[in-house]
Amino acid sequence: MILFALLLGAAGWSFAEYCIHRWLGHDRRFTGNPFGKEHIAHHGKGDYFASSFKKLGVAVAAAALLIGPAVLVAGPTLGAAFVFGFVSFYGYYELLHRLEHVWEGFGAYGRWARRHHFHHHFHNPAANHGVTSPIWDHVFGTYEEPSVIAVPEKLKMRWLVDPTTGDIHEHLEGSYSLRRSRAA
């Protein structure tokens, strides 16, 4: 039961991740909210992230909000496990998202996660809102299969190019391309 409560908490974050990103981050009706402002800056500058201090504050506030109802519904042990699962998976999301931008990563999941997210950044911000998984994109019909991802030169990720030549690393060529601005 504890495992189930932990997994339910993780699933709860996964759903919140999709909703926050899609509606608070990208729906023009709501983007004036603090998350939306930070998120638009993240899209505009590429390697901009809101401060970890703010994120920690949000995590603590979310845990404080959730713990009461969770304990009321499921009792202290299972309620705490649910909140722990939720907050841990949120931490994992933050780590994964940061790594996608700053580190090339490895493995099938790592490659998938980066392509899924950079398709969202550079091709269609109305698609692929999930960062840790594509589940909710499939559920809500916003999933798009990335093809070659054209990265604008000024927003290129550090791990994408060879710093000596300025070209895409050979092993990433089939997955990414550089969209150079005309003036360059």
Count CB-CB contacts under 10 A for residue 152: 13
Q: Which long-range contacts (CB under 8 A, 24 or more apart) does 73-77 make?
A: 74/5, 77/2
Query: Which of residues 36 and 85 has its CB atom nearest to Zn ion in the complex?
Result: 36
Fill in the DSSP letter of residue 152: E
46-65 residues in contact with Zn ion (CB under 5 A) are none
Q: How far is the CB of 160 from Zn ion (least distance, A)?
A: 14
Q: What does 89-139 look like in DSSP terms, one character per residue?
A: HHHHHHHHHHHHHH----HHHHHHHHHHHHHHHHT-TTS---SS-SHHHHH
- How many residues contact Zn ion, by CB under 5 A? 1
Shortest distance, CB of residue 151 to Zn ion, whole angstroms?
Answer: 12
Q: Cβ(86)–Cβ(80) under 8 Å?
A: no
- Per-residue x/- track, 2-31, Zn ion (CB under 5 A): -----------------------x------
Closest distance to Zn ion from the beta carbon of 91 (Å):
16
Cα separation of 5 and 45, whole Å?
A: 38
Q: Which is nearer to Zn ion, 25 or 134 (CB)?
A: 25
Distance of CA 30 to the CA centre of its chain: 18
Minimum gap (Å) between residue 129 Cβ and Zn ion: 7
Residue with CB nearest Zn ion?
A: 25
Closest to Zn ion by CB, 80 or 120: 120
Which one, 4 or 140, has the nearer CB to Zn ion? 140
Q: Which is nearer to Zn ion, 25 or 85 (CB)?
A: 25
Name residues contacting Zn ion, limited to 94-113 (CB under 5 A).
none
Least spacing, CB of residue 64 vs Zn ion, in Å: 26
CB of 118 to Zn ion, least distance (A): 8
Instruction: Please count the other Cβ atoms lying within 10 Å of the Cβ belonging to residue 132.
Output: 22
- Residue 165 near residue 134 (C-beta atoms within 8 A): no
Q: Which residues bind Zn ion (CB under 5 A)?
A: 25
